[in-house]
Amino acid sequence: MADISSLKLNPPENRYRGALPKIGIRPTIDGRRRGVRESLEIVTMELAKAAAKLITENLRHPNGQPIQCVIADSTIGGVAEAAACADKFSRENVQVTLTVTPCWCYGSETMDMDPTTIKAVWGFNGTDRPGAVYLAAVLAAHNQKGLPAFGIYGRDVMDFADAAKIPNDVKGKILSFIKSGLAAAWMRGKSYLSIGSVAMGIAGSISNADFFQEYLGMRNEYVDMSELVRRFEEKIYSEVEYKRALAWTLENCKVGPDNNPAEEQHSQKQKDETWKTCVKMALIVRDLMVGNPDLRRKKLDEEALGHNAILAGFQGQRQWTDHFPNGDFMEVILNSSFDWNGIRSPYVVATENDGLNGVSMLFGYLLTGAAQVFADVRTYWSPAAIERVTGWKPEGGAANGLIHLINSGSAAIDGTGKQRKDGKAAWKPFWEISPEEAGACLDAVSWRYGNLGYFRGGGYSSDFISEGGMPVTMTRLNLVKGLGPVLQIAEGFTVTLPDHVHDKLDLRTDPTWPTTWFAPRITGEEGPFKDVYSVMNNWGANHGAVSYGHNGADLITLASILRIPVCMHNVTEDRIYRPSYWNAFGMDKEGSDYRACSALGPLYK
C-alpha cells in the first residue's frame, strides 16, 4: 500500500516566469449625457461585477491559483475612456477581455482595439435598451477590422431590473470563452523544451519553431540528451531531494514481474542502479524545465534558472535507450499529479519528443487543470476480432469495437481512474485530489522492468489499466504541408473488459505497458465517426493525448482563438462556439472554420 502520509496537498504555485494573465471586464455604455448615460451607469457596472463574480467563483488557473478580474475604472462611453481602460489593462497584464453592456453604445469607439487581447462581447437581451443592437454593431466592427470577438447573447428576453442575474446559457458561453482564452494566454511567452532530437523518424518530434512561435506565442529551447549525463556525473541536482525521492519511489512504486527471458535479465544490482538513474532523470528533466533554486547553493546559478518550459519532450529512443534506462518513469511521474513532494500540478512531458502530441496534452491540461494520458493509438479491435481471439462476444461499451491506447511512455497514473467524482471513476485537477485517491492510483500501478528488445538499457515502465466508464476526449495536433496545423478531436468513454479478455489482447502487444480501452462516440453516418474503425482509420498520427471529460467543445473554441482549423470531431453542432467572424465564411461549419483560419492567419504572425 502507498504511504499516503507523504501525499500532502501542496498549495498552487506559479512555476513560470511572468505574471499570470488576468481577465479584463469592459463595461460599455451609451455616451449621451443629460439623462441617458446617467440612467445606465449602475446597471452597466452591475453587469461587469456579475460577470467577474461568475468567473472567479467557477474557474481557476490550470495551476489551481485563483483568477483575477480587472474591471475598468469607469464605464466606457467613448474613445477616451476606452483608451484609459486599455492603459489600465496593459499595466495589469490583462490578456483576455469581456465587454458587457445592457444598452446601445458607439461600436468602433468603445471596442477593444488591442490586437494582442482575446475578446468577447456580452450584449444583454432586454427590450428596455438595445444591448443586442450594440452587440451586432460592435461584432460587425470587430469583423471588419479583423479583430475577431466571440458574441454572447442570451436566448430569452430578460427584465432590465434582472440584468445582473446571468442566465445559464450566457454563463456557459462566458465560462467557455474565459477557459479557452486563458489557455491561449497561458502559452504565450513560455517554452517548449526539446530534450534530444527526432525519435525513430517520428514526424511529430521534428520540432517546428515557426508553428510554436506563430500559433502559440511560444519559443523553442533545445538541450542534447548528453546534458543528463553531465548532470548525473557532476551531481547537478538536489542530493537531499534525490535521497528522499529514491526512498519514496522504492516504498511506493511496486515492482512487477520481469518479462524478459531469464538468461537476458539484468542482475538485481543493475536493476537497483536503474531505479537510481530513473529518479535522477525525473529530477533533472524537471529542473531543466522550470529550474531549481536549490542549485544556487552549489553555485550553479545558470542551471538553477531552467528554460521556463511549460512543455517538454524527451527523445529517448534510440540514442538514449540503447545504453541508458528508458524515460518511462521520468515521464510518468512528472505527468502525474503527485510524487515525493506530495500532490501538485502535473508537468507536461511528451514521450519520444513528439512535440505535436505534447501540444495536444498541453491543450488538455490548460483546459482542465488535470493530468494527461499520452498513448500510441495502437490497434482497432473489431467486435469480430475480439470474439475470434478471446471467445467473448463484446457487449456494452465494447459492442462496436475498441481502440487500444497503449505505449511505454508518459501515461499519467491519474489515468488509472482510481480518483472519484460523484462516486464514479475519474481523474481530477490536483487541488481536488485526496491523499487516499493518490495512494489508490499508486497502488494500481505495477512497475515492470523494460522490455530489453526495445530498451537495451533497461528502465521501468508503468503497467495499469484505466477503469471503464470514464468520459474522455482524445486529441491530436498535426502539421500538414500546404495547410499548416489541424486539430483532431474524438470524445468517447473508457471501457473495462473481462480480465481474461484484456489479458489475451494485451499479451499480443506488450503486457508491461499501461492500457486504456477507448470507445469513441460514433454517429453511424458517413465520415470519420461512422464507426470505431473509421475513427482509427482517419486518425492523423501514431499518438494521441487523452483528457478526462468531454471537453471537445472547449478544444474547438481554443483552436479558433489560435486560428487552427479542426479537421475531425464528434462534438454536436449546438456545442460549437467560435468568434462571430467565422459566420461570414459560409454555412457549413467545417468549411467556414478552414476559410476563417486561413483569412486571419496565425495569432502571433
Joined together, the cell numbers standing for residue 550 give: 468531454
C-alpha 181/C-alpha 367 separation (Å) is: 10
C-alpha 518/C-alpha 570 separation (Å) is: 14
Q: Is residue 372 classed exposed, middle or buried when 0-12, 13-18 and 19+ CB atoms within 10 A define those classes?
A: buried
CA pseudo-torsion sign 333, 375, 192, 566 = negative
Eight-class DSSP state of 321: T
Count how many residues are written for the chain. Answer: 605
Catalytic residue among 221, 376, 437, 554: 376
Mark whether 376 is an active-site residue: yes
C-alpha 482/C-alpha 89 separation (Å) is: 38
Angle at 369 between CA 363 and CA 372, to 5 degrees: 60
Question: Which parts of 475-547 fold into alpha helices (H)?
Answer: 499-507, 532-538
User: In a 3-state reduction of DSSP, which class is residue 183?
Assistant: helix
- Which secondary-structure segment (H or E) carries 380? strand 373-381
The number of helix segments (H) and strand segments (E) in the chain equals 18, 22
The four Cα atoms 122, 126, 131, 135 give a dihedral, to 10 degrees, of 50
Q: How far is CA 366 from CA 179, 213, 360, 555, 556, in A?
A: 8, 18, 10, 10, 14
Q: Are the beta carbons of 151 and 135 closer than 8 angstroms? A: yes
Q: Are the beta carbons of 138 and 111 closer than 8 angstroms? A: yes
User: In a 3-state reduction of DSSP, which class is residue 603?
Assistant: coil
**Long-range pairs of 241-247 with CB within 8 A, sequence gap ≥ 24:** 241/283, 241/294, 241/340, 242/279, 242/280, 242/283, 244/340, 245/279, 245/282, 245/283, 245/339, 245/340, 246/275, 246/276, 246/279, 247/340
C-alpha 48/C-alpha 53 separation (Å) is: 9
391: left (phi over 0), alpha (psi -120 to 50) or beta: left
Look-up of cell digits 478526462: 548
Eight-class DSSP state of 87: H
C-alpha 487/C-alpha 362 separation (Å) is: 13
Question: Please, which residues have CB within 8 angstroms of residue 535's CB and are 6 or more apart in sequence?
Answer: 403, 490, 520, 522, 528, 529
Mark whether 510 is an active-site residue: no
Concatenated DSSP letters of 8-66:
PBPPP---SSSPPPEEEEEEB----TTTHHHHHHHHHHHHHHHHHHHHHHH-B-TTSPB
306: left (phi over 0), alpha (psi -120 to 50) or beta: left
236: left (phi over 0), alpha (psi -120 to 50) or beta: beta
Catalytic residue among 352, 414, 432, 491: 352
- Which secondary-structure segment (H or E) carries 351? strand 349-351
The residues that are catalytic are: 352, 376
